[in-house]
């Protein structure tokens, strides 16, 4: 076993083409401790496959299968020895084409099978490139043998214990002498049927591998150099964060820019695994360390902006001095697997936010069925075009005099909802989409740029 054991994950943009893959391979080569390498599909491929899995004609499916084939074969052509891997890529693409020709009803199960091709293709090629660059014999492991999940296709829940058993049996024996390349995002249920962990789930996969193998470090190599104090596209003087705590990062991944999949921090926290976020394009630039305890604990570390939020408010006079209403209300949401972000309540009303665009075509979350069930016992109101702004930091719940300067700076802004107090690491509120960026700029200037 190496002194330190690291799991390194490379995202879609890091797998974009042969030269991006070579860059990643060189990052791995430079560090003998990077033993397990988890990769995403090449950029754009999962989107193509998602389209393939919608209700489109056989012709369109075949044309997508061809695009996927061409894209991967063109990367193969840049290999020094394209022979073996090209054959395997062709074989996988034949399988995909075969699925395209089938007259079959699209199910979530089949969709996961289709989506899995992205990571299966990219990992095959990356394994070869890594072999060429390091001169080592790299082992390609099928993540579906390790990441065992339930059968909630489309966003399957991993089984932590079985994953650790599989890992001990199938992965651990390999790593004293070899590096292992495997796929993010995909797993399988107990019957061996392919599942996925949900879009952008590769970070989560990597964290699950890191947990199961007792890694010391989990590295997430992506297309940004670090986690920033806020989105640099919104605020010019946003700064990279050198070190941030697990708790703050967990809040940021839920409410903030999508640098990390929100579930990623959960295994890292469970096993106290340090997480590093860095850029595979500029690996020399310092990234962000996410650790249990940070040396500095500013009250406000970062300000995040999440767009396209839906506010659902329900109102029922029956709630007055009654019990059971909240349970009934949340039961409806739970039955439909609707995940809620923020909640506030008053005696006869509940307001909550969902991370979804009310006006987006095919917004599947709040279907007429869900709304109908809610309307049978309360008044329902929906509002879209909202953004969620979160101040992330430390001791936000116990710092006296914080809300005055925060909300004082926003005296002309209509704030639709405020959530404060449940977490010491976050204070957040909803504003209209049109005002959100300006609100972030004002707050960043007042609380972060001045430091
Ligand atoms: N390839 C998958 C997606 O695009 C998983 C990932 O990249 O994390 O959603
Ligand atoms: Mg990604």
Average pLDDT, the chain: 93
- Is residue 83 within 8 A of residue 128, CB to CB? The reply is no
C-alpha to C-alpha distance for 53 and 335, rounded to whole angstroms: 25
Gap between the Cα atoms of 284 and 364, Å rounded: 42
- Measured from the alpha carbon of residue 45, the closest ligand is 1
Residue 185 placed within a domain: yes
Query: Which token pair is 220?
Result: 């997430």
Instruction: For residue 119, give the ligand 1 atom closest to its CA.
Output: 1
Note the pTM of the prediction, 2 decimals: 0.90
Structure tokens at 17: 């083409």
Q: 202 and 56 in one domain?
A: yes
Identify the CATH number of the domain in which residue 119 sits: 3.40.1160.10
Whole domain around residue 385: which residue ranges? Answer: 301-449
Pairing of strands 180-183, 288-291: unpaired
Give the whole-angstrom CA distance, residue 115 versus residue 110.
9
From the CA of 47, give the closest atom in ligand 1.
Answer: 4
CB 129 within 8 A of CB 79: yes
The whole-angstrom separation of Cα 391 and Cα 402 is 11
How many A from CA of 392 to the centre of ligand 1? 26
Q: Which string of DSSP letters, residue by residue, matches 404-444? A: HHHHHTTTTS-EEEEEESS-TTEEEEEEEHHHHHHHHHHHH
Given 193, 223, 253, which residue is the final one in a domain? 223
pLDDT per residue over 221-233, tens digit each?
999 899 999 999 9
For residues 114 and 26, membership in a common domain is answered with: yes
How far apart CA 237 and CA 444 sit, in angstroms, is 9
Q: 169 and 39 share a domain?
A: yes
Q: Is residue 74 part of a domain?
A: yes
Q: Tell me how far apart the alpha carbons of residues 381 and 377 are, in angstroms, rounded to a whole number.
A: 13
196 strand-pairing partners: 186
The answer to the question of residue 233 being in a domain is: no
Closest by CA position to 119, among listed 195, 7, 212, 31: 195
* 216 shares its domain with 305: no
Atom of ligand 1 nearest to the CA of 12: 7
pLDDT of residue 138: 98
Domain count for the chain? 2
Q: How many Å is the Cα radius of gyration of the chain?
A: 23
In a domain, 269, yes or no: no
In a domain, 12, yes or no: yes
Give yes or no: residues 311 and 212 share one domain.
no
Kind plus residue range of the DSSP H or E element containing 352: strand 349-354
Q: How far is the CA of 116 from the centre of ligand 2 (A)?
A: 14
Q: Can you give the CATH number for the domain in which 327 is found? A: 3.30.2130.10
Query: Is 252 among the domain residues?
Result: no
Residue 342 within a domain: yes
Does some domain include residue 262? no
Å from CA of 126 to ligand 1 middle: 16
At residue 187, what are phi and psi to the nearest 5 degrees?
A: -155, -165
- Taking CA atoms only, the protein residue closest to ligand 1 atom 5 is 200
Final residue in a domain of this structure, among 161, 194, 223: 223
Q: Are residues 214 and 329 in the same domain?
A: no
CA 346 to chain centre: 33
Q: Residues with Cβ within 6 A of ligand 1?
A: 11-12, 40-41, 46, 118, 184-185, 199-202
Note the helical H segments in 54-140.
58-76, 83-101, 108-134
- Selection from 288, 279, 264 nearest residue 223 by Cα: 279
Same structural domain, 208 and 306: no
How many Å lie between the centroid of ligand 2 and the Cα of residue 242?
22
Helix, strand and coil in the chain, % to nearest 5: 40, 20, 40
Domain boundary among 191, 223, 255: 223
For 201, other C-beta atoms within 10 Å of its C-beta total 26
Considering the domain architecture, whether residues 10 and 148 belong to the same structural domain is answered as: yes
Q: Do 67 and 196 have their domain in common?
A: yes
Cα of 419 from ligand 1 centre, angstroms = 31
Taking the chain (451 residues) in runs of 10, the rounded mean pLDDT of each run is 87 97 97 98 97 94 98 96 94 97 91 98 98 97 98 96 98 96 98 97 98 98 93 93 94 80 93 97 96 93 93 83 82 89 86 79 72 92 93 91 90 91 90 96 93 68
Identify whether residues 187 and 81 lie together within a single domain. Answer: yes
């Amino acid at each position: 076993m190496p002194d330190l054991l690291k799991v390194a994950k490379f995202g879609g943009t890091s797998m974009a083409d042969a030269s991006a893959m070579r860059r990643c391979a060189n990052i791995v080569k430079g560090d003998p401790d990077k033993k397990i390498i988890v990769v995403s599909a090449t950029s754009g491929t999962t989107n193509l496959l998602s389209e393939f899995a919608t209700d489109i004609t056989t012709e369109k499916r075949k044309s997508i299968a061809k695009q996927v084939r061409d894209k991967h074969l063109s990367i193969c052509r840049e290999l020094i020895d394209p022979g073996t891997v090209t054959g395997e890529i062709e074989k996988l693409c034949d399988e995909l084409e075969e699925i395209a020709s089938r007259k079959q009803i699209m199910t979530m199960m089949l969709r996961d099978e289709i989506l899995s091709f992205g990571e299966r293709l990219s990992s095959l090629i990356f394994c070869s490139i890594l072999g060429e660059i390091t001169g080592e014999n790299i082992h390609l492991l099928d993540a579906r043998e390790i990441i065992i999940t339930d059968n909630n296709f489309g966003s399957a829940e991993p089984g932590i214990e079985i994953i650790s058993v599989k890992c001990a049996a199938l992965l651990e024996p390999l790593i004293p002498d070899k590096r292992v390349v495997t796929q993010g995002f995909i797993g399988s249920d107990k019957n061996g049927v392919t599942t996925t962990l949900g879009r952008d789930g590769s970070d989560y996969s990597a964290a699950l591998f890191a947990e199961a193998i007792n890694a010391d470090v989990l590295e997430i190599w992506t297309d940004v150099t670090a986690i920033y104090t806020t989105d640099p596209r919104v605020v010019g003087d946003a700064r990279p964060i050198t070190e941030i705590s697990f708790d703050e990062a967990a809040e940021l991944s839920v409410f903030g820019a999508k640098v990390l999949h929100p579930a990623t921090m959960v295994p890292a926290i469970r096993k106290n695994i340090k997480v590093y976020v860095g850029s595979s394009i500029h690996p020399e630039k310092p990234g962000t360390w996410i650790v249990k305890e940070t040396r500095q604990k500013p009250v406000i570390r970062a300000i995040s902006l999440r767009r396209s939020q839906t506010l659902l408010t329900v109102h029922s006079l029956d709630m007055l001095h009654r019990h059971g209403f909240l349970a009934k209300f949340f039961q409806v949401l739970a039955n439909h697997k609707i995940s809620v972000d923020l909640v506030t309540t008053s005696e006869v009303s509940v307001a909550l936010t969902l991370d979804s665009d009310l006006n987006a075509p095919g917004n599947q979350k709040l279907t007429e069925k869900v709304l109908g069930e809610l309307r049978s016992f309360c008044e329902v109101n929906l509002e879209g075009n909202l953004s969620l702004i979160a101040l992330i930091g430390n001791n936000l719940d116990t710092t006296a005099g914080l809300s005055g300067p925060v909300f004082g700076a926003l005296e002309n802004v209509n704030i639709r909802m405020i959530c404060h107090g449940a977490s010491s690491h976050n204070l957040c509120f909803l504003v209209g989409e049109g005002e959100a960026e300006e609100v972030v700029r004002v707050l960043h200037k007042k609380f972060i740029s001045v430091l």
